Amino acid sequence: MVAPVRPKRTCSMRCLYHEPPTGHRPTSRYPPRVLKLRHDTAPEWVPLVERELIAFLQDHAANERRVSRSALTLAVQHPERAELVDAMVHVSLEELEHFKLVYELLKARGAPLAQDAPDPYMKALRKRLADPDRSKWLLHRLVLFAVVEARGYERFAMLAEGLSDPGLRETYAELARCEARHQGLYLRLARTYYAAEEVETHLDRVLDLEAALLRELPLRPALH
12 within domain boundaries: no
What is the residue type of 190? A
SS3 content of the chain, % helix, strand, coil (to 5): 65, 0, 35
Residue-by-residue DSSP string for 20-79 = PPTT--S-SSS--S----SSPPPTTHHHHHHHTHHHHHHHHHHHHHHHHHHHHHHHHH-T
- Which CATH number do you get for residue 155? 1.20.1260.10
11 within domain boundaries: no
Give the model confidence (pLDDT) of 171-219 as tens digits: 999 999 999 999 999 999 999 999 999 999 999 999 999 999 999 999 9
Q: What pTM was computed for the model? A: 0.85
* The predicted structure's pLDDT at residue 33: 67
Residue 136 has pLDDT above 70, yes or no: yes
Tell me the residue range of the domain where 184 lies: 45-113+123-216
For the chain, what is the mean pLDDT?
88
Give the model confidence (pLDDT) of 93-106 as tens digits: 999 999 999 999 99
Structural domain count of the chain: 1
62 within domain boundaries: yes
* The predicted structure's pLDDT at residue 30: 42
36 within domain boundaries: no
Q: Which of 170, 220, 213 is nearest to 63 (CA)?
A: 220
55 within domain boundaries: yes
- Assign 22 a pLDDT band (cuts: 50, 70, 90): very low
3 within domain boundaries: no
3-state secondary structure of 164: coil
* The predicted structure's pLDDT at residue 116: 87
Q: Where does residue 52 rank: exposed (0-12), middle (13-18), buried (19+ CB within 10 A)?
A: middle
Question: What whole-number distance in Å separates Cα of residue 93 and Cα of residue 95?
Answer: 5
Number of CB atoms found within 10 A of residue 152's CB: 24
CA dihedral defined by 155, 16, 122, 67, rounded to 10 degrees? -100
144 within domain boundaries: yes
63 within domain boundaries: yes
**What are the φ and ψ backbone dihedral angles of 39, each rounded to 5 degrees?**
-150, 125
